[in-house]
């Protein structure tokens, strides 16, 4: 029994070094990017005070008690977790490990693969690790919006208990509006959210300072000795607490994944100037409040505020948690774009939303899949406390994977000494392994969900990668070398018919299947044949004068030419328009065609699922489904439907 589907040839893509996000624009541009970073990048980690300490003191039926020893120990653990993992690892070190301005675990894996060079087995293992890390990020991207918005709206129960029944409907409505708003682009969302987050960080800092002034002794909690004493005195309790302490650093991976949106410098400045001080003050304030009033562990964030300020803070917190959701959504867009470029996902409709930054994209398919997942999760768990049981496993696993990949870059690319690698591995890696181990206790209580999502995404990505390898290998064999094919046409009995035929094709090394099929079945070749390849450059625009290169493929009199079109990420990939410009230029005599009268031929392979070796049958059917749902290159290249011809051949998988 066989199944068939169609896979159409598209463009080649490369990512050469180009302008990096945040590298230009002057002081005003940097300030705007810094504001945008506050509005997108730091939403997740910036709203962690809403639920982090509350969760710590509620785990295991109050195993962590509101005593001075436990409170100082927890505050110390939180502060040094944020310092080591976010400030040192991500903001200082990991942001240096960018791949042409792009961040995220998959971009880091691609950088490692490039650094390792020709070591094929190691490079494949590294990419598999990166793909799994990216898959875990998708699991986090589903949980974060749900728990963040729910935790903020639940503040209504503290301020006005009679409104408890509206929490879920209000949260669902807010998230719906957020996902709908994605189509307007990250830069617009960031510019709107930036001022809101400035107000948020100011508010949580002021709230914390008021309580710290009342009990300045809480500042001693910044000493790492209290964390050490807490672990030594209560090793089991401290271990369990680590599973909740990690909530204070969720969002660190989104910070890195969003680097392509805003650039390294604005992200660093926003962290050290605004975010880190505000978070520290708020956590200190919550700790001081718990020492003053042990009953405040029920919700130390909102109880930190006077009664009159709680409802306004619920509104502000809701806006801030919407922004927290934005951080992982934009991170998911970045990871998806990288996966498409690296060949782990089929071509998706990706819309660039900024005239300046390469990383600011909107991916409709990913947006709506996330929306369905988030809404389903919220309606299923119905409270942030229950969602917290599912939170942390994916985050901590991603932290470990990122550290492993970073150590490879530091050694192979930057030439770090062995002792530096050991220090990072022991101090940072050791802490992350502890976080992960503590969160494994949550697997049976909901932690399985992000792992299931991650395994599903990992399976899809690896299946698409393997399927592409098989199809490309067998398709290339059918295409054959283009120079050899052109040579056979000279002096043959193939009829040259009037008109022009345009063949989009990834390369000039092999023959477009549509061209070969036209010759073999119809015994005709058009008078003018134009083979077009597109190359994606990592710059906003490629000047029109520099966009095209024409190659006569060795013969000036046969009417067959190859055109390479280079596009920036903001350029429309309109092949007919590009050919129209070239044909109107008198310097391009070899391109004597009228693109508005030409026929456009797409090369398409029909996939036939067989029992041939290469992949298991269920993976072949999955690949077939992915291929069937890939975006059409006809739409991508603006090919005219009325003059479009699809031809090709069958490929067995």
- The pLDDT tens digits for 441-479 are 778 777 788 888 889 999 999 998 888 888 888 888 888
**pLDDT tops 80 at residue 37:** no
Average pLDDT on 364-390 reads 79
Characterise 172 by phi-psi region: left (phi > 0), alpha (psi -120 to 50), beta (else). alpha
Residue 496 structure tokens: 């040259």
Q: Name the pLDDT band for 355 (thresholds 50, 70, 90).
A: low
Tell me what pLDDT residue 449 has: 83
The confidence score (pLDDT) of residue 80 equals: 95
Instruction: Average the pLDDT over each of 21-30, 388-397, 620-629, 639-648 and give the range with the smallest value.
Output: 21-30
Q: Is the pLDDT of residue 357 over 90?
A: no
Is residue 64 within a helix (H) or strand (E), and if so which, with residue range? none
Query: Residue 131 — pLDDT band, cuts 50, 70, 90?
Result: confident
| pLDDT of amino acid 12 | 40
Would you say residue 8 has pLDDT above 50? no
Mean pLDDT of the 315-332 span? 79
User: What CA–CA distance (Å, rounded) separates 124 from 114?
Assistant: 11
- % residues pLDDT > 70 (the chain): 86
Q: What is the DSSP letter of 18?
A: -
Report residue 653 as tokens. 């998988």
Q: Classify residue 353 by its DSSP letter.
A: -
Q: What is the mean pLDDT of residues 114-128?
A: 73
Give the Å distances, CA to CA, from 93 to 85, 414, 435, 462. Answer: 10, 11, 20, 29
All domains in the chain, ordered by first residue? 27-446 (1.20.1740.10), 477-652 (no CATH)
Flag whether pLDDT at 616 surpasses 60: yes
- Cα(487)–Cα(489) distance, rounded to whole angstroms? 5
Report pLDDT for 29. Answer: 64
Supply 628's token pair: 């069937």
pLDDT at 569 over 70: no
């Amino acid at each position: 029994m066989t199944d068939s589907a169609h896979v159409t040839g598209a463009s080649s893509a490369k990512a050469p070094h180009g302008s990096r996000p945040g590298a230009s624009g002057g002081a005003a541009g940097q300030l705007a990017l810094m504001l945008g970073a506050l509005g997108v990048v730091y939403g997740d980690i910036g709203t962690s005070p809403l639920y982090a300490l509350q969760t710590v003191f509620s785990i295991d039926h109050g195993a962590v008690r509101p005593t001075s020893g436990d409170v100082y120990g927890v505050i110390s653990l939180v502060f040094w977790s944020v310092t080591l993992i976010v400030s040192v690892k991500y903001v200082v070190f990991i942001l240096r490990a960018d791949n042409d301005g792009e961040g995220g675990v998959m971009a880091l894996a691609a950088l490692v693969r490039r650094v390792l060079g020709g070591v094929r087995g190691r490079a494949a293992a590294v990419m598999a690790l990166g793909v799994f890390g990216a898959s875990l990020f998708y699991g986090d991207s589903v949980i974060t919006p749900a728990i963040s918005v729910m935790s903020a709206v639940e503040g209504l129960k503290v301020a006005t208990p009679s409104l408890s029944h509206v929490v879920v409907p209000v949260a669902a409505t807010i998230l719906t509006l957020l996902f709908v708003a994605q189509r307007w682009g990250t830069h617009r969302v960031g510019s709107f959210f930036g001022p809101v987050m400035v107000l948020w960080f100011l508010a949580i800092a002021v709230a914390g300072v008021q309580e710290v002034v009342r009990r300045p002794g809480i500042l001693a909690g910044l000493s790492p000795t209290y964390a050490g004493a807490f672990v030594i005195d209560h090793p089991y309790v401290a271990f369990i607490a680590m599973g909740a302490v990690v909530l204070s650093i969720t969002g660190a991976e989104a910070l890195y994944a969003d680097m392509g949106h805003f650039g390294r410098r604005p992200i660093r400045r926003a962290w050290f100037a605004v975010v880190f001080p505000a978070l520290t003050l708020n956590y200190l304030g919550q700790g001081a409040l718990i020492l003053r009033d042990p009953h405040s562990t029920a919700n130390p964030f909102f109880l930190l505020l006077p009664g009159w300020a709680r409802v306004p803070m619920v509104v502000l917190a809701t806006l801030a948690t919407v922004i927290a959701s934005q951080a992982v959504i934009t991170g998911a867009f970045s990871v998806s774009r990288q996966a498409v470029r690296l060949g782990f996902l089929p071509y998706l409709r990706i819309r660039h939303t900024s005239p300046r930054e390469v990383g600011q994209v909107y991916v409709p398919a990913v947006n709506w899949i996330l929306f369905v997942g988030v809404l389903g999760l919220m309606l299923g768990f119905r409270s942030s406390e229950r969602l917290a049981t599912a939170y942390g496993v994916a985050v901590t696993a991603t932290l470990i994977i990122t550290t492993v990949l970073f150590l490879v870059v530091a050694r192979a690319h930057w030439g770090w000494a062995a002792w530096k690698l050991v220090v990072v591995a022991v101090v940072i890696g050791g802490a992350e392994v502890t976080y992960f181990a503590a969160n494994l206790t949550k697997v049976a209580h909901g932690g399985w969900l992000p792992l299931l999502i991650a395994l599903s995404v990992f399976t899809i990505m690896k299946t698409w990668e393997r399927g592409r390898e098989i199809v490309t290998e067998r398709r290339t064999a059918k295409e054959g070398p283009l120079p050899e094919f052109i040579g056979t046409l000279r002096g043959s009995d193939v009829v040259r018919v009037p008109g022009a035929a345009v063949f989009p094709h990834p390369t000039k090394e092999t023959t477009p299947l549509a061209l070969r099929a036209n010759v073999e079945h119809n015994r005709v070749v058009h008078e003018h044949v134009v083979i077009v390849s597109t190359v994606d450059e990592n710059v906003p625009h490629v000047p029109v004068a520099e966009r095209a290169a024409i190659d006569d493929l060795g013969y000036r009199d046969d009417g067959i030419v190859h055109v390479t079109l280079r596009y920036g990420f903001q350029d429309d990939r309109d092949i007919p328009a590009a050919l129209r410009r070239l044909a109107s230029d008198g310097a391009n005599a070899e391109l004597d065609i009228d693109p508005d009268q030409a026929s456009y031929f797409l090369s398409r392979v029909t996939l036939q699922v067989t029992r041939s070796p290469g992949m298991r049958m269920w993976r072949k059917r999955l690949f077939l489904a992915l291929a069937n749902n890939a975006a059409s290159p006809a739409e991508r290249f603006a090919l005219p439907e009325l003059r479009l011809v699809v031809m090709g051949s069958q490929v067995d998988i």
